[in-house]
Amino acid sequence: MSTSQQAMGVEDCVRAVKAGEVSAVELAQAALKRIAAQDARLNAVTRVLHERALAEAAAVDAKIASGEDPGPLAGVPYGVKDLCDVEGLSTTAGAARLRNARPAAADAEAVARFRKAGAVLVATLNMDEFAYGFVTVNAHWGTTRNPHDPDRFAGGSSGGSAVAVAAGLLPFSIGSDTNGSIRIPASLCGVFGIKPTHGSLPMEGTYPFSHTLDDIGLFARSSRDLALVDAVLRKMEPAAAAPLQNAAILEGWFADNLAPEMRKAIDRLDRAIGPLPRVALRGVAQARSAAFLITAYEGGQLHCEALLADAMSYDPSTRDRLLAGAALPRDVYDLALAYRDVFRAEIEKAFEVHDVLIAPAVCGPAPLISHPYILIDGAERPARANLGLYTQPISFLGLPVVAAPLSVDGLPLGVQIIARLGRDAELLRYAACLEEAGLLKAIAPNQPR
């Protein structure tokens, strides 16, 4: 069991460790073996933490041997996007220029909470440099590949975190989402992800990008696993929340530019649980553009001095985007920020009638790495900057979203399940209901569907 090609899920790991069927050290060793065997073709992992993983796992086993409670995530191996502090390591944020930065003096708060809960940190995971991209193509650390088809993008910027879970290297992982960086790779790799209500998960010890929009979040292969690790991060018991009712499907902006397979998949979901009402929001294009401008401005300001001092140490794709952002006038940024009030009023009207809004997370299946474009209004646009077409307007308002893989044949496709601020637990429960009904499903690569 512990040496299989696929990691067990979170719940199964905890149950097996607590029952004495497998030790935490055996689970950690198995995860290390899977990474050694499989990551060369995926490039999800930036650093393997052998020593730390085995020490944390041994501590869990010692607690069990002495009759102590080993914690709600006893012995569960996991990985972290390379922008969360790990004590004793440089936090690279995917940048070569930070490779030899002063090592973190302490774990990020999220990592500390998982350690206290008995989880075992095994690896740091690849990302677009400074989280500025939707593809996980990194000039220094390489391209992370989609486990369902290594010729395709994993999505980004938390591509390493998504792939580590989708490929079965690890049961769960930490990522971050500013404009879609959890929702897009989750959808392209066929796993569940949560972008929480803005500011509701601990950000201490994470490398920033755009403070107005940044959140950390999680990946797992089931909504139950996602709810379990989410609750640990919030220091709460997994909520027995009532599922939300009155779902609707977003159309208009969210129905334009869909690939035929995505359109069919959403129609199939609609037939299974509906027919659901359709809601067209006004001002979505403006909301997406406002998010784009806020990100560019805040990212540009954050990096401006370093860019002027040493622009050539940046990944060229990131550098030129950050430089353009650094040149944005302040009043354009203020205008973009102010648009939130306008768009919030629009979406509130939808939430007066519906508890849940469902929208595509991506246009279609993962684009080919050799042809890095998506079609928007009939024109090919770079995937790196544009895969967030449907995700940016939602995170613009800080809303909680579960990215959920549709049960489909072929390459993975995911939807965003969206609720009001603060309803994260109810949202996870709603996703679990759809998963129990067979409408959502994480499918391991190369396994029968």
Partner 1 sequence: MTGNESIAAIAWLDNAQGIAASAPFPDPALPDEMIFEETARQFDARLPRACAVGLALNVRLLREHYLTLLGSGR
Residues involved in catalysis: 81, 157, 181
The interface region with partner 1, picked from 134-142, 182-190, 231-239, 320-328 by CB under 8 A, is 320-328
Do 22 and 2 contact (CB within 8 A), yes or no? Answer: yes
Task: Work out which of 1, 65, 236, 327 binds partner 1, going by CB under 8 A.
Answer: 327
Residue among 65, 272, 324, 353 that touches partner 1 (CB under 8 A):
324
The CB-of-390 to partner 1 minimum distance in angstroms stands at: 14
Stretch that binds partner 1, among 184-192, 342-350, 360-368, 398-406 (CB under 8 A): 342-350
User: Which amino acid is located at 288 in the chain?
Assistant: R
- Amino acid symbol at 70: P
Residues 362-391: x where in contact with partner 1 by CB under 8 A, - otherwise, as a string: ---------------x-------x------
Contact pick of 21, 267, 320, 436 for partner 1 (by CB under 8 A) = 320
The DSSP code for 440 is B
Pick 105 or 309: Cβ nearer partner 1: 309
- Scan residues 343-362 and list those touching partner 1 (CB under 8 A): 345-346, 349
**Which part of the chain contacts partner 1 (CB under 8 A), choosing from 25-33, 183-191, 337-345, 419-427?**
337-345
Window 16 to 45, contacts with partner 1 (CB under 8 A): none
Which residues 415-444 are close enough to bind partner 1 by CB under 8 A?
none
Q: Which of residues 251-310 bind partner 1 (CB under 8 A)?
A: 285-286, 288-290, 292-293, 296, 307-308
Between helix 24-42 and helix 10-18 the angle, nearest 10°, is 150
Estimate the share of the chain in helix, then strand, then coil, as percent rounded to the nearest 5: 40, 15, 40
Burial class (CB in 10 A: 0-12, 13-18, 19+), 402: buried
With CA atoms as reference, report the closest residue to 161 among 179, 177, 178.
177
Contact 95, 315 (CB under 8 A): yes
**Six-digit token string for 379:** 């024109």
Which residues, 6 or more positions from 281, have their beta carbon under 8 angstroms from its beta carbon? 250, 252, 253, 343, 346, 347, 350, 393
Backbone φ and ψ of 220, nearest 5°: -160, 170
The correct pick among 328, 350, 368, 375 for binding partner 1 (CB under 8 A) is 328
Asked if residues 24 and 187 have their Cβ atoms less than 8 Å apart, the reply is: no
- Least gap, CB of 317 to partner 1 (angstroms): 7
Judged by CB under 8 A, the number of residues near partner 1 is 38
- Smallest distance, partner 1 to C-beta of residue 338, A: 5
Helix (H) or strand (E) holding 313, with range, is: none
Point out which span in 72-80, 117-125, 138-146, 311-319 binds partner 1 (CB under 8 A). 311-319
Kindly indicate which of the ranges 89-97, 117-125, 167-175, 312-320 contains the residues binding partner 1, using the contact rule CB under 8 A. Answer: 312-320
Tell me which residue has tokens 């990946």.
219
Structure tokens at 93: 């944020």
Report residue 334 CA to chain centroid gap: 28
What's the Cα-to-Cα distance from 39 to each of 12, 26, 103, rounded to whole Å? 23, 19, 25
For partner 1, give the closer residue by CB, 326 or 399.
Answer: 326
CB of 393 to partner 1, least distance (A): 12
Please give the residue ranges that form the binding site for partner 1 (CB under 8 A): 285-286, 288-290, 292-293, 296, 307-308, 311-312, 316-317, 319-321, 323-329, 331-332, 334-336, 338-339, 341-342, 345-346, 349, 377, 385
